[in-house]
């Protein structure tokens, strides 16, 4: 690829980068693109899940290219004082299927796994190997990087893919089971019935520290499966640490990412749900915008996404306020009550909340649990708190 200029170089082969490459290629098959990923496969070792109401028709069409698990009957949430079944349809995509689909759908020349990027600039990408690829547009879709300019906590998780020795009889996803012992933060277990004898079980924590202790979390998953009566063999798994953003100086955060001119469209650019750490609705929307505007000059495209990033930050300030309430106002072992109370609200509100589209009335109901009323001064006093989002220790 050295020696010629391609139309678009996308760096980071996770969800945001992979969807961007697919959307651009579908819309403009004549454009030369390349999708660079440091690992040997796209998507890493991960599973993404979403509600069907999280994306619009165009987004659903983009995601239709990937094989996925689907549940129409809805999902359950379980808390110490409350349980509920909600009706929204749920979907889940494994990274192995993500990788296989991209390899089939993209031109062979676009596949650049095992390509670690040492530097990216508005007009080129330089690999660790020394190879230099010039491009009209460079898109940064890499993972989130901790920053002193952002405050908050962390979502720490470990998932296990289990083949059960007998049918498990779990009919639909359990999106939150918070009946488990709370350990230094809000803890819940998330379970997906992938087949009659397959479960994906994930132990998740809203924690003050990004430390992930694999041995401890594995032991807790063992105990949870024992309590639920599930046994069998482990056939896969994942671990992760994601940011829960409660505040900060977003302009300073964006500036530290590098010089202007690079299109920053992934989690590293701030396109995350501040409270849930979800990225899928924003990755889908950004991929479609990138495809629609792919023929703009790189500088103009970068400016467009700079404006989108700042607009996203403004639109999600409500979630950052909720995060501050969760981390600052609630004792760690009582944080589950915030979500237990939330899940008593009307289902359309819950759907809009996860999709990042709450109305003003929704926000007031979430804060008060009642029809719109004045926001209590105690809630206003929570603004401005939080710890810097930096990795004190590697997970």
Would the pTM of this model clear 0.85, i.e. be above it?
A: yes
What's the pLDDT tens digit per position in 52-72?
Answer: 999 999 999 999 999 999 998
pLDDT category at 185 given cuts 50, 70, 90 is confident
At residue 392, the pLDDT reads: 40
Q: What is the mean pLDDT of residues 154-170?
A: 96
Contact 269, 4 (CB under 8 A): no
Residue 369 has pLDDT above 60, yes or no: yes
At residue 259, the pLDDT reads: 85
Q: What is the mean pLDDT of residues 206-228?
A: 95
pLDDT category at 204 given cuts 50, 70, 90 is very high
At residue 329, the pLDDT reads: 65
What's the pLDDT tens digit per position in 79-100?
Answer: 998 999 999 999 999 999 999 9
pLDDT category at 181 given cuts 50, 70, 90 is very high
Residue 141 has pLDDT above 90, yes or no: yes
Q: What is the mean pLDDT of residues 280-287?
A: 97
Beta bridge mates, 85: 76
Q: Using CA atoms, how far apart are residues 223 and 53, in angstroms rounded to an integer?
A: 34
Beta bridge mates, 232: 164
Strands 5-11 and 33-37: parallel
DSSP 222: H
pLDDT category at 2 given cuts 50, 70, 90 is low
At residue 388, the pLDDT reads: 67
At residue 192, the pLDDT reads: 98
Residue 370 has pLDDT above 90, yes or no: no
Residue 384 has pLDDT above 50, yes or no: no
Question: What is the chain's Cα-based Rg?
Answer: 21
Which H helix or E strand runs over 129? none
At residue 377, the pLDDT reads: 44
At residue 373, the pLDDT reads: 35
Tokens coding 342 = 């939330």
Dihedral sign for Cα 2, 25, 23, 61, please: negative
pLDDT category at 380 given cuts 50, 70, 90 is very low
- Output the average pLDDT for the chain: 91
Q: What is the mean pLDDT of residues 226-236?
A: 96
Q: What is the mean pLDDT of residues 241-264?
A: 95
Residue 169 has pLDDT above 60, yes or no: yes
- Give the distance from CA 168 to its chain's centroid: 28
Residue 372 has pLDDT above 60, yes or no: no
Q: Using CA atoms, how far apart are residues 340 and 81, in angstroms rounded to an integer?
A: 8
At residue 4, the pLDDT reads: 80
Residue 391 has pLDDT above 80, yes or no: no
Q: What is the mean pLDDT of residues 316-342?
A: 87
The CA-CA-CA angle for residues 146, 150, 154, to 5°, reads 60
pLDDT-above-70 percentage for the chain:
92
Q: What is the mean pLDDT of residues 153-167?
A: 96
- Quickly count: other Cβ atoms within 10 Å of residue 109's Cβ: 11
Residue 394 has pLDDT above 70, yes or no: no
At residue 387, the pLDDT reads: 58
């Amino acid at each position: 690829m050295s020696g010629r200029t391609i139309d678009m170089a996308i760096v980071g082969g996770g969800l945001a980068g992979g969807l961007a490459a697919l959307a651009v290629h579908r819309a403009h098959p004549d454009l030369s693109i390349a999708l660079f990923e440091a690992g040997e496969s796209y998507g890493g070792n991960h599973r993404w899940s979403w509600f069907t109401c999280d994306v619009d028709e165009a987004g659903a069409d983009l995601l239709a290219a990937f094989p996925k698990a689907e549940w129409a009957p809805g999902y359950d949430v379980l808390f110490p004082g409350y349980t509920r079944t909600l009706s929204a349809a749920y979907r889940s995509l494994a990274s192995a299927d993500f990788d296989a689909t991209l390899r089939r759908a993209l031109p062979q020349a676009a596949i650049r796994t095992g390509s670690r990027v040492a530097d990216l600039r508005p007009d080129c990408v330089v690999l660790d190997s020394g190879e230099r690829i010039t491009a009209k547009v460079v898109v940064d879709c890499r993972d989130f990087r901790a920053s002193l300019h952002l405050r908050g906590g962390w979502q720490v998780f470990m998932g296990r893919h289990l083949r059960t020795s007998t049918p498990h009889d779990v009919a639909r996803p359990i999106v939150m089971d918070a009946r488990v012992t709370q350990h230094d933060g809000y803890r819940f277990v998330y379970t997906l019935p992938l087949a009659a004898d397959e479960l994906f079980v994930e132990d998740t924590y809203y924690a003050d520290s990004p430390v992930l202790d694999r041995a401890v979390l594995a032991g807790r998953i063992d105990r949870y499966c024992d309590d639920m009566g599930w046994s069998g063999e482990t056939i896969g798994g994942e671990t992760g640490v994601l940011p829960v953003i409660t505040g900060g100086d977003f302009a300073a955060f964006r500036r530290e990412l590098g010089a202007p001119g690079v299109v920053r469209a992934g989690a590293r650019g701030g396109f995350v749900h501040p409270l849930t750490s979800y990225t899928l609705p924003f990755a889908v929307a950004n991929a479609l915008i990138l495809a629609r505007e792919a023929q703009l000059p790189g500088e103009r495209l970068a400016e467009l996404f700079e404006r989108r990033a700042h607009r996203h930050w403004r639109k999600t300030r409500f979630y950052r306020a909720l995060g501050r309430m969760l981390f600052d106002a609630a004792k760690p072992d009582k944080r589950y009550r915030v979500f237990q109370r939330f899940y008593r609200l009307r289902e359309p509100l819950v759907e809009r909340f996860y999709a990042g589209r709450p109305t003003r009335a929704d926000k007031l109901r979430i804060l008060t649990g009642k029809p719109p009323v004045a926001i209590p001064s105690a809630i206003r006093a929570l603004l401005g708190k939080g710890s810097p989002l930096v990795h004190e220790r590697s997970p």
